[in-house]
Structure 1
Amino acid sequence: MARPVRVLLSCEHGGNQIPDEYTALFAPHCDILNSHRGYDMGALEMARAIADATTAPLFACETSRLLVDPNRSPWHHQLFSRYTRALSREQRHAIVQQYYAPYRAAIEQFIRRSIEENKAVLHLSIHSFTPVLDNEERQADIGVLYDPRRKREVHFAQRIAEAFRESHPELRCRKNYPYRGISDGLPSFLRKVFDYEVYMGIELEFNQALFEHDRPQWDELAATLTRTLSTDFPARR
């Protein structure tokens, strides 16, 4: 018998905050911090709207990924940005211990506890992407990223994509675009930790143009997700 599914929300690139002890590294680069390189604009607001609509727990990181990227595996060459890569090994270790490891450990602990309670976890990692990258316009409004080798992820990804297409036919919803669902990221890492029967990781990518005032609002898109997911939504804790 299949386990009931519990939804977990996360937002790895929710803010562009820099801790006081590292602000000198970024003082000449405020424009970069405030751009799509510093954080995913609109992603945290979208994640909060989904959390409010579903009562699913939300884990969010508001420290800029330019300090350390919580969506990269510990061994990934882009774990640190060009602004922090040259720090000493001790400094980088301190950053990981304070701003990276606790965030990821909290999510992993939530999943383990849910499995112990005989639940499966559907992890929705919320991101946004810049409409134009390297002078090339992205050809999507919403991206649903997943691992096509994991059948339960395929099932949920298809349902989510179909729901967005039906409720907002004017929006271009694509699967595994603008990135591949199997590229390095927190869900990809967690797939290596947890079996496919108890963990499904899907990244939702929203074009930042969606968050302009003349486009669909966060609560409308969140409502679409809520109607779609036939899940066990626990009270937030």
Structure 2
Amino acid sequence: MSDIEIAHLETFGAAPVFVFCDHASNAMPASLNCLGLPEDILKTHIAYDIGAGAVAHGVAQRLEGTLFRCGFSRLVIDPNRALTTPDLIPAASDQIPIPGNQMLSEADRQARIDEFHIPYHDLLDQALDDMTASNGAPLVVSIHSFTNRLMGAKEDRPWSVGLLWREDEPSARGMINHLERETDWRIGDNEPYDARIFNYSIDRHVGPRSLSHLTIEVRQDLISDNDGVAQLADVLAAGVRKVAL
């Protein structure tokens, strides 16, 4: 059994809003010995979405909804990847080698799936089922963050916030319009990632349930401290109220 929490569930009220964060934590079980990485690397964007868990908490709290956060680092195994994807257990991330993920045996790979990926998605399924049973169909908000500059890039990414969408374009358009009205930020439309290509957790749990949803990406330099987190949580919660509730 792992010595870290697979997922954390917290309820702030009865509002039909379910906020989740796949990459909230950089925690690893002691048995993995930090995957051979120095501790300072585990504090960077390759191990988790910096600030995303705190923003997700703030949005759920402000909307009096439910929060679901992953408890382990995506370097252990990425919960937002299908089991067939090459970067499910990344051998390198943003050009940084991950020693403990290289030359894994099939048994070691399957152990990671069995111990982390499968139970995480079972818990996410159960949480959504429970909320639907008690509150009706919730609005689902998925929160991620992205590094302002990838290794080797010549300049920063220009977007402050991005909305990723495939099935629920109206909710995404509404939030994009809200952010463009209320801020001077550049807002990404399926940038810096494109949900029409992949958005595994949403595609697995939310699309099949036909739930309204938003996938929000926030640039990490905007949420690197408590003031930034509070500002983003305020702006995003206000947007959710206007466009989707």
- TM-score over 0.5 for the pair: yes
Question: Is residue 188–residue 201 contact of structure 1 (8 Å, CA) maintained in 2?
Answer: no
2:171 is aligned with what amino acid? F
Is the 1:50–1:219 Cα contact (8 Å) retained in structure 2?
A: no
State the Cα deviation string for residues 102-148 of structure 1 (Å, max 9, x = none).
2211212233344455833322111111111131421100001010x
Greater Cα offset, 66-75 or 31-40 = 31-40
From the superposition, tell whether residues 36 and 166 of structure 1 become closer, same or farther in structure 2 (CA, over 3 Å): same
CA distance in 1, matches of 2:219, 2:206: 25
Aligned pairs for 1:211-222 (under 5 A) are 211-212=223-224, 217-222=228-233
Q: RMSD between aligned alpha carbons? A: 2.4
> Which stretches in structure 2 are left out of the alignment for 5+ residues?
1-14, 92-99
The 1-side partners of 2:40 and 2:227 are apart by 27
Q: Which amino acid aligns with 2:204?
A: F
Q: TM-score with structure 2 length normalisation?
A: 0.79
Q: What amino acid is aligned across from residue 145 of structure 2 in structure 1?
A: S
Matched, 1:226 2:237: yes
Shift of 1:175: 1.4
2:70 to 41, 61, 64: 61
Aligned partner of 2:111 among 94, 97, 104:
94
Partner of 1:120: 137
**Corresponding residue of 1:140:** 159
Partner of 2:47: 38
Aligned match of 1:156: 171
SS in 2 for 1:160: helix
Alignment check: 8 A CA contact 1:73 1:189 kept: no
Q: Percent identity?
A: 27
Assess, with a 3 A threshold, how the Cα gap between structure 1 residues 21 and 56 changes in structure 2: closer, same or farther.
same
Distance in 2, matches of 1:141 and 1:216, equals: 16
- Correspondence for 1:49: 58
Counting only pairs closer than 5 Å after superposition, residues 13-28 of structure 1 correspond to structure 2 as 13-23=23-33, 25-26=35-36, 28=37
- The structural deviation recorded for 1:212 is 4.3
Give the secondary-structure state (helix, strand or coil) at the position aligned to 2:101: coil
More off after superposition, 137-146 vs 76-85: 76-85
Give the unaligned 5+ runs of structure 1.
233-237
Q: Which of 4, 14, 20 lines up with 1:10 in the alignment?
A: 20
Aligned length, in residue pairs: 218
AA aligned opposite 1:23: N
CA deviations 1:207-228 (Å, max 9, x no partner) are 0111245x96322332233333
